[in-house]
Chains A and B, each alone.
Chain A
Amino acid sequence: MAEEYEVKRYNIRMAGIGGQGVVTASHIISNGVVISGGFSSLVPFFGSEKRNAPVESYVRISNQQIYEIGEIIFPNVIMIFHPSVITLGKSYTMPFYTGLKQKGIILINSNKPIPFSRDEERELEEKEARIYYLPATEMANDLAKTDLATNMAMCGAISGIFGIPDPVSLAASVKDRFVGKGIVVSGGTAALDSAIEKKFAKKQKLLEANQKVLDGAVQYTIDQGWSEDERSVATSA
């Protein structure tokens, strides 16, 4: 690779609560990146698999081979799937922005800004953090008629902001998860799957509903002017 070759790397830390599909979202994004021809790896982090317990998952995205494994201590992207991660401290990482790299992005699922403490506000300012609020649960309720698709909105937003994975690859990845060869997330998700399937008579309907949310979230990021595509956001790892 003698010619100009910009190394792009996004290190994403996701935090949410059990049952929201945080780990599934990380698999879907990561798989989408690989489908699109990029490099990705992911690792989930959770305690006992139960609803409302803290969950984290880490996704590395790059256009070159990735060696690192394990938790992402110094992310440049943070996704917060539930406001209580911040407001109730339902997280393994406190405060939630610990380790965020300078000018990093924080995507929060909330329909209104979250009131931070003075210290938090100061530290976020010092880090020049860009905080984006996405009403992911509302979008899921509106478009898919279930809050179980909240994670789809979060996935769509990542695609909208970074362009990796592109929306087509992301859709293919979602398909892989539900009707393809299947993605092994954890034993607990098998039970969740059957709960989802009861809501949707057919998997095709489930896919269509998910796709609506994905598309909606991509459009939302564009409308908000969050899209980074074409803009340089490269950070050396």
Chain B
Amino acid sequence: MANVVGSSVCRTAVDEGKPADWVPGGEKQTVVDPMKMFHELPREKQFITGSEAARESMRRANIDIAIAYPITPQSESMQQAGYLYDEGYIKEYYRAEEEIGTFSAISGASRAGVRSLTATSGPGLMRGLEAVSSWPGARTPIIMLNMCRVINTPLAIQPDNIEMSFLLNTGILMLHAENQQDFYDYPLAAIMASEQVDVTLPAVVSTDGFFVTHARGPVSITPEEYKLPPRDGWRSAVPAMDNENPPARLSRDAPIQKSNFISYHMHSSWQQEVFAAVERSAKYFRAYLGGLVEVVNPGAEDFIIASGCAVSQAREAVRQEGEKGRTVGLVKIKTIRPFPTEEIFEAVKGAKRILVPEFNQAGWLHKEVCSVLYGRTTGVIKNGPRVYGGMTMPTEMILEWLADFRKEVK
């Protein structure tokens, strides 16, 4: 609809009931340098939900196409995306049949060289995981918003971020938003990083459903008349496909079809390159987000390492400990992939006690932290506290664990 100018395929604005002189919102916006958008433009504080923060982020993201299938708690955000489509900020938008279809279609959109957005939650992510796993190797920059939700039986719609552990080794870039502010900022940063020529990978911004998406919080946003530069589909490690004239021998000689040394070698080096590209993205996230981590109270003996919602709970614990005259440090991990190995080590190398509070049963972040600190620090890393199944982690729980920890490790 929004594709009024030069539209040969799409329906026109008039077809959709818009006046003949209607100008899509996106065309009234001015492209701005990403660094300027992230760090220099003035910001206005609004008191909005995480879903509304996602909408404002999408409004400024110069998105060509969005495809999604509704699932709680993602539905509210994609309902908002519908308004953006109507206003002409997203050029194409449709509801796919289900998540395998959604994630396959969005992959095709990205291959065609346009900026592509999708969103899902827990069980939907699980359903479409086959397609998601194929994105990084296909070198398709895609932005996926993931509003975490319980995936296990019994059924629940509340937040639990176990689903993120299924993405850890796919090669997708992973950011974990703590609050509504992050859910506004991170998608914009993720889009720009994912489209860099030495990255060319999909990115997912996860946040906790309901606690962020349906909750209100303060969000500082840039003026809506500015948007990110458009995607340049040719500036990719794997250039965009011309779908008007698709290459005829698309999958001939695909490595998977031949079992010989050359094909294995090709496949393994392809994977190595994907994961090297994940590491190369770090420099962009450092620039866009001001670092892969945020450190509160550096040099403390007690440290909490957390991502997502657990950071908010940890901040309150740090505040309350501070009131009692005890300094507790906090490392907020912004990017799960690339994992900020050296930043974490630098922050906690002097710590005696390290807690890793998480909103999942498996403790995937604890395992990640252990794997990068093993043999490098003398601090004791505690396996928790953890809540799951949609439960909240009360600050009191972190405080109790800290108190017990101090008794155990003098």
Contacts and interface: CB of A to CB of B under 8 A. Distances in A.
Interface string A33-47: 010000011111101
Contacts of A66: 316
Report whether over half of chain B's contact residues are helix, strand or loop; otherwise say mixed: mixed
Interface in A52-81: 66-71, 73-74
A224 to B, nearest CB: 30
A30 B315 contact: no
A27 B179 CA distance: 17
Contacts of A71: 391-392
Contacts of B179: 69
Interface in B334-393: 391-393
A67 B316 contact: yes
Interface string A188-226: 000000000000000000000000000000000000000
B392 A186 contact: no
Nearest to A190: B79
Contacts of A44: 210, 214-215
A31 B216 contact: yes
Interface string B26-57: 00000000000000000000011101100000
B309 A69 contact: yes
A94 interface: no
Nearest to B391: A71
Contact of B210 (A31, A34, A43, A184): A43
Contacts of B316: 66-68, 237
Interface residues of A, number: 23
B127 interface: no
Contacts of B79: 187
B313 A68 contact: yes
Contacts of A40: 47, 216
A237 B396 CA distance: 9
Contacts of B51: 184
A42 B75 CA distance: 19
B319 interface: yes
B11 to A, nearest CB: 25
Given A40-B216, A184-B51, 12 more contacts: A34-B218, A45-B210, A47-B157, A66-B316, A68-B312, A68-B316, A69-B212, A71-B391, A184-B52, A184-B76, A186-B76, A237-B395
